[in-house]
Chain A
Amino acid sequence: MRILLSWLRDFVEIEESPRELADALTMAGMAVDAVESEAGETVFEFDITSNRPDAMNHFGMAREVAAIYRRPLRAPSTACAESGPPAASMASVAIQDPDACVRYVGRVFTAVEVRPSPDWMRRRLELCGVRSINNLADLTNYVLLEIGQPTHAFDLDRLAGAAIVVRRARHGERLVTLDGEDRDLTEGHLAICDAERPVALAGVMGGQATEITAETRNVLLEAAWFRPSVIRNAARGFKLFTEASHRFERGADWNAAPRAADRIATLLAQTGPGQVLPGQVDCFPRQPKLSPIRLERAHILRHLGIQVDDAEVEEILSALGFEPSPDTSGWSVPAASHRLDVERGIDLIEEVARIHGFANIPATLPLVGAAPEPTPLAAEDARMRSAVRGLGYDETIGFAFISSDEAERFGPGDPVSLRNPLSQLWDVMRNSAVPTMVRALEWNLRRNQPFVRLAEFGRIYQRSGASYDEPSVLTLGASGTARQASWAEPAREVGFYDIKADIAVLLAPFFPDAPDIVTEGVPPYYRDKHAVGLKSDGEVLAWFGELDPKLARERKIRQPVWVAEIFLDKVYGRGLRRPIHGKLAKVPAVSRDFSLLVPNAVDFASITEAVGEMPDLDSVEPVEVFRGKNVPEGSYSLLLRAWWQRLDESLTDEEVNGFAAELRSRLQSRLGITTRT
């Protein structure tokens, strides 16, 4: 909103420099975005909040200036000479929907002549960014900028029956508005009608049939108050946003309507030509009742933390156009029609505070009234995040939107769809974070990053009956080399076992025993037989493995991509395990190596299972796995190392030999594994 310094000066004395004034208004809540100097005139660009329609004009802004500096405010002159027959004898006004149209003031002008406005008026309008049209249109715009009341001028001779009827439109009625659009009206629209048909869409735009033309001689001027919701629905329905609808939907002032009509009459009499007929045709069926507002002195202290002097409270409220009457505990303040945003004591306290100055309220610190509640899962989350960091994954965050096509391929059915998506690629909330991760990997691989490891902590979105679930998922993505290649270590491709080892590190703080590996139910976007799940107590904790190379190729990725999904609610739900210290052995463990020939169908898990529990057996580990040359077909060679240990005494060679023999015999009898010869 553009406000001219010289126009403000019509209503209030201003001694301050434009910069000082801008700062003072900004600190009172009227934010000045810019102070410009244009053709010798100072123009303020304001950003006025939507609750303050009263300040979206020069007189309203002058009231703020008057309150800040406690200076007198002069109202614009509305004294004009009237002559001829009473206006009421020339035109009639009737309101059939007094809820939607609270007040309708008509003024009648005769013997007008449509011509350009005087220079001073054109100049002000243009500085405010309004194009000058003709003297009558300019008058309505000028008064809108001056006191904020939208008005409309009809060609009186083209109003059937010289009548205004404010009513709901009837089904099938049409109106060609000033912008040339032929619009269908319905019962939802409030129409300004003459004796026969709609002539304007109330509070939004006038109609072509009754507009002012070069031939216009007699004018009916409208100044009314329409209910904000009615105007808003009409403007939104037609996507027709005008200066008038902007004011009305934020709330105008029904007492400003007659002033605006008189002000236009005054300006018309001044700038001519035209005759102002005596009196207004003021239709105001029932004055809306506004409840008086109670302002308790003690509440000012309670909310602001300071006591403001009674005299200052009264000065501020009076300057803003309220009429406080004091009593023992505070004030009774009638609500003001120009400030419909002020309804409660707290609203008045805000007015006192902003004019008194937020800067004049001393800063204090509240006392802590209660111990803070521990944040659920904070320790679990912190542990997981630091482990992910330590493993070298860079934390990323991706958009939560994916395409419905992606949702179909990556998640379980019926995704959460958006009604007004930003684009078709983002039309559902993700039901899996894998597509997000694949996009991020793709982004990096296209930029020739040889080494990518990303982790995202985020949510996925699912229906849950009539409501929604937003489970937390940790998604890992890796591609390229396992580590940055360096002079000290040769490069190596990242692989399944790297991801598996990382997940083991991440889950270790939560599970005393490693979760089970499962191969059933692995989602189809993983490469067949190159991905697994982890389960504990029947719940899937994670899926991980290689992304289906077909999917990767669709995204122009030509190298293996490894992905893991860890369902954090399930993992965190276990809580951090409490570590329990056991005894440390006093003597070192003893190992034996076994060179085994293993049938291909036997995997490592079967071997450890076949070895099973043995006294003093500490662990068995694979030292070397070899397939191919010199290994008989259908088998592979495994070098297995077993460790034995007794807590407080050494094992003799004979004992260990016995254990080794037992281990060999278990492998032989249970799995048909032979010692390699």
Chain B
Amino acid sequence: MSIERKTGRPIGELIREGEDPEQLYGELRAAFERECSAALTPQQGQALRDRWLGRRSGLLSAINDHWLKAAPRELKPVVGKLQNLLRRDLEAAVKAAAEAAARVQVQAEPDLDTTLPGPERGGGAVHPVRLALEEVLDIFRPLGYSVAEGPEIETFFYNFEALNFPADHPSVDEMDTLFLKDGALLRTHTSPCQIRIMESKSPPLRYVVHGKVYRNDTPDATHSPMFHQLEMFAVDESITFGDLKGTLEHFVRCFFGPQTQARFRPSFFPFTEPSAEVDITCPFCSDGACRICKQTGFIEVLGCGMIDPNVLRNAGLDPERYQGFAAGFGLDRFAMLKYNIDDILLMYQGDARFLRQFR
């Protein structure tokens, strides 16, 4: 039975012949979709519209009379619902088809205000510490470094002893350690993971270790009891202090800008020998006259050195055969320098206004 014939007959009769309302509407919808996809020109669009939605002779108007109005009382709700849905969808489709066809010929709608903002979709922010981390990892990965994080709850052995902190030495106090009730501690730096990696893998080793570290520091604009550290180390048979310098010079140029120069100052850390602190030329001024470098032209950014032979030995490596370097710094501080953040506590409040700057 053709569509025209069906839509011309009362629904009651069709149902007595075994049809049901959902089927009937489903068939109509299928037929419309076939015709709609074939309507490509404005003329065809207009014909489609006349055939289905024409006010007097359209198919929809026919079923309105023969199906909906003529439906038995008990079928009225369901037929009404189906009729409405079909009308809604047909009208939308015909309109869309007409617009699509028209667009091929007309250039642009004259009244589209392209300066109105689109509705906000808001891709989420990346936390500035994470942003800095990803930048650092992107510098070290091509140099052949793997990435590890390690546990935050550590033992005294890994956090201090294995790293050559002399027992009963002031340098242990200087770390302001947070201890757990059973004697374990929250790592004060990422270096314990250096030992864990050296214990479980064989050189050559090239690793970046990063993650949260903890100090018993009262929070203020420059101190936070939890912050993020990143450290990189390399162990092989012939790694020299010159290699350490070359690697870190490359790193600070990539991170702080190509004109950045690094200055290596002798310093002291129990786990490296020789040890150095690295200052970079101030990226914020050219004449040593800004607040950030405290009018010195230099900013201290990281600590580094050749891994102390005792540390290698404590981790089970033979210092007569292997040597290496290590360097570490605070990711929060790097992020603060790079993104002009003046208060470290902003990092940990979760203030959306702060975070959204990093979208």
Residues of A within 8 A of B (CB): 26-29, 31, 49-52, 228-229, 232-233, 249-250, 302-306, 344, 346-347, 349-350, 353-354, 358-359, 361-366, 368-375, 378, 385, 388-401, 416-422, 426, 429, 437, 439-441, 443-444, 447, 449, 452-456, 459, 461, 468, 470, 483-484, 486-489, 588, 590-595, 639, 653, 656-657, 660-661, 675-677
B103 CB → nearest A CB, Å: 21
Q: Is the CB of B204 within 8 A of A370?
A: yes
| List of B residues within 8 angstroms of A344 by Cβ | 309
Q: Is the CB of A454 within 8 A of B276?
A: no
Near A by CB (< 8 A), chain B positions 107-151 give: 116-127, 129-130, 141, 143-148, 151
Knowing A422-B216, A443-B351, A591-B26, say if A363 contacts B245 (CB, 8 Å): yes
Q: Is the CB of B246 within 8 A of A363?
A: yes
Across the A-B interface, how many residue pairs have beta carbons closer than 8 Å?
288
Q: A306: nearest residue on chain B (CB-CB)?
A: B242
Q: A47: nearest residue on chain B (CB-CB)?
A: B267
Q: A50: nearest residue on chain B (CB-CB)?
A: B170
Near A by CB (< 8 A), chain B positions 256-296 give: 263-268, 273-277
Q: Is the CB of A486 within 8 A of B23?
A: no
Q: A444: nearest residue on chain B (CB-CB)?
A: B352
Q: Is the CB of B170 within 8 A of A249?
A: yes
In the docked arrangement, what's the CA distance between A594 and B85, Å?
11
Q: Is the CB of A366 within 8 A of B234?
A: yes
Q: Is the CB of A232 within 8 A of B168?
A: yes
Q: Is the CB of B225 within 8 A of A422?
A: yes
| List of B residues within 8 angstroms of A595 by Cβ | 22, 77-78, 81-82
Q: Is the CB of A420 within 8 A of B178?
A: yes
In the docked arrangement, what's the CA distance between A390 and B122, Å?
8
Q: Is the CB of B78 within 8 A of A52?
A: no
Q: Is the CB of A372 within 8 A of B240?
A: no
A196 CB → nearest B CB, Å: 31
Near A by CB (< 8 A), chain B positions 16-54 give: 20, 22-23, 25-27, 29-30, 33
| List of A residues within 8 angstroms of B125 by Cβ | 389, 394-395
The 9 lowest CB-CB distance pairs between A and B, nearest first, are A440-B350, A29-B266, A369-B204, A305-B240, A305-B242, A49-B268, A354-B266, A350-B274, A363-B246
Interface centre among A228, A306, A353, A676 (most CB of B within 10 A): A353
| List of A residues within 8 angstroms of B355 by Cβ | 394-396, 454
Knowing A363-B245, A483-B122, say if A396 contacts B350 (CB, 8 Å): yes
B247, CB-defined interface residue at 8 Å: yes
Q: B29: nearest residue on chain A (CB-CB)?
A: A591
Q: Is the CB of A304 within 8 A of B241?
A: yes
Q: Is the CB of A592 within 8 A of B26?
A: yes
Q: Is the CB of A439 within 8 A of B350?
A: yes
The listed residue (B29, B152, B240) touching A364 by CB distance below 8 A is B240
B239, CB-defined interface residue at 8 Å: yes
B2, CB-defined interface residue at 8 Å: no
In the docked arrangement, what's the CA distance between A145 and B124, Å?
58
A209 CB → nearest B CB, Å: 30
| List of B residues within 8 angstroms of A52 by Cβ | 268
Q: Is the CB of A588 within 8 A of B33?
A: yes
| List of B residues within 8 angstroms of A447 by Cβ | 351, 353
Knowing A31-B265, A660-B26, say if A398 contacts B348 (CB, 8 Å): yes
Q: Is the CB of A395 within 8 A of B26?
A: no
22 contacts between A and B (CB under 8 A): A31-B277, A302-B240, A303-B306, A346-B274, A346-B306, A353-B266, A353-B274, A361-B242, A366-B246, A370-B144, A395-B124, A397-B127, A416-B153, A429-B153, A449-B353, A452-B352, A454-B350, A461-B152, A470-B153, A591-B26, A594-B22, A676-B77
Q: Is the CB of A350 within 8 A of B273?
A: yes
Q: Is the CB of B181 within 8 A of A418?
A: yes
Q: Is the CB of B179 within 8 A of A419?
A: yes
Would you give the 0/1 interface string for B153-185, flagging 1 where the beta carbon is closer than 8 Å to chain A? Answer: 100000000000001111100100011110010
Q: Is the CB of A395 within 8 A of B242?
A: no
B218, CB-defined interface residue at 8 Å: yes
Would you give the 0/1 interface string for B209-223, flagging 1 where the beta carbon is closer than 8 Å to chain A? Answer: 000101010110000
Q: Is the CB of A395 within 8 A of B241?
A: no
In the docked arrangement, what's the CA distance between A229 and B166, Å?
10
B308, CB-defined interface residue at 8 Å: yes
In the docked arrangement, what's the CA distance between A455 and B204, Å?
37
Q: Is the CB of A657 within 8 A of B245?
A: no
Near A by CB (< 8 A), chain B positions 298-316 give: 306, 308-309
| List of A residues within 8 angstroms of B78 by Cβ | 595, 675-677
Q: A382: nearest residue on chain B (CB-CB)?
A: B134
A283 CB → nearest B CB, Å: 25
Residues of B within 8 A of A (CB): 20, 22-23, 25-27, 29-30, 33, 74-75, 77-78, 81-82, 85, 116-127, 129-130, 141, 143-148, 151-153, 167-171, 174, 178-181, 184, 186, 201, 203-204, 206, 212, 214, 216, 218-219, 225-226, 234, 236, 238-243, 245-247, 249-250, 263-268, 273-277, 306, 308-309, 323, 347-353, 355-356, 359
In the docked arrangement, what's the CA distance between A52 and B348, Å?
37
The listed residue (B33, B180, B263, B309) touching A418 by CB distance below 8 A is B180
A366 CB → nearest B CB, Å: 4
The listed residue (B85, B218, B241) touching A361 by CB distance below 8 A is B241
Q: Is the CB of B242 within 8 A of A484?
A: no
In the docked arrangement, what's the CA distance between A346 and B206, Å?
22
In the docked arrangement, what's the CA distance between A50 and B167, Å?
14
| List of B residues within 8 angstroms of A470 by Cβ | 151-153
In the docked arrangement, what's the CA distance between A371 and B145, Å?
9
Q: Is the CB of A365 within 8 A of B246?
A: yes
Q: Is the CB of A444 within 8 A of B350?
A: yes
A387 CB → nearest B CB, Å: 10
| List of B residues within 8 angstroms of A426 by Cβ | 225
Q: Is the CB of A395 within 8 A of B130?
A: yes
Q: B215: nearest residue on chain A (CB-CB)?
A: A422
Knowing A365-B246, A449-B352, say if A486 contacts B117 (CB, 8 Å): yes
Q: Is the CB of A484 within 8 A of B122?
A: yes
Q: Is the CB of A592 within 8 A of B184?
A: no
Q: B247: nearest residue on chain A (CB-CB)?
A: A365
Q: Is the CB of B75 within 8 A of A388?
A: no
Q: Is the CB of B263 within 8 A of A486?
A: no
| List of B residues within 8 angstroms of A392 by Cβ | 121-124
Q: Is the CB of A393 within 8 A of B124?
A: yes
Q: Is the CB of A656 within 8 A of B266?
A: no
Q: Is the CB of B264 within 8 A of A358?
A: yes
B118 CB → nearest A CB, Å: 7
In the docked arrangement, what's the CA distance between A233 and B172, Å?
13
In the docked arrangement, what's the CA distance between A242 and B167, Å?
21
Q: A27: nearest residue on chain B (CB-CB)?
A: B265
The listed residue (A359, A391, A488) touching B264 by CB distance below 8 A is A359
Q: Is the CB of A593 within 8 A of B82?
A: yes
In the docked arrangement, what's the CA distance between A229 and B121, Å?
62
Knowing A29-B266, A369-B204, A486-B119, say if A416 contacts B81 (CB, 8 Å): no
In the docked arrangement, what's the CA distance between A602 and B195, Å?
58
In the docked arrangement, what's the CA distance between A590 and B30, Å?
7
Q: Is the CB of B118 within 8 A of A488?
A: yes
In the docked arrangement, what's the CA distance between A661 and B141, Å?
61
| List of A residues within 8 angstroms of B267 by Cβ | 29, 31, 49
Q: Is the CB of B118 within 8 A of A398?
A: no
Question: With A392-B123, A400-B214 given, can you name 11 additional A-B contacts, CB distance below 8 Å?
Answer: A358-B245, A359-B263, A364-B240, A389-B123, A399-B226, A418-B181, A443-B350, A595-B22, A653-B26, A660-B23, A660-B26
In the docked arrangement, what's the CA distance between A441 and B350, Å?
8
| List of A residues within 8 angstroms of B249 by Cβ | 363
Q: Is the CB of A488 within 8 A of B119?
A: yes
B193 CB → nearest A CB, Å: 13
Q: B235: nearest residue on chain A (CB-CB)?
A: A369
The listed residue (B26, B234, B351) touching A656 by CB distance below 8 A is B26
Q: B205: nearest residue on chain A (CB-CB)?
A: A370
The listed residue (A390, A487, A593) touching B124 by CB distance below 8 A is A390
Q: Is the CB of B119 within 8 A of A483?
A: yes
B23 CB → nearest A CB, Å: 5
| List of A residues within 8 angstroms of B170 by Cβ | 50, 232, 249-250
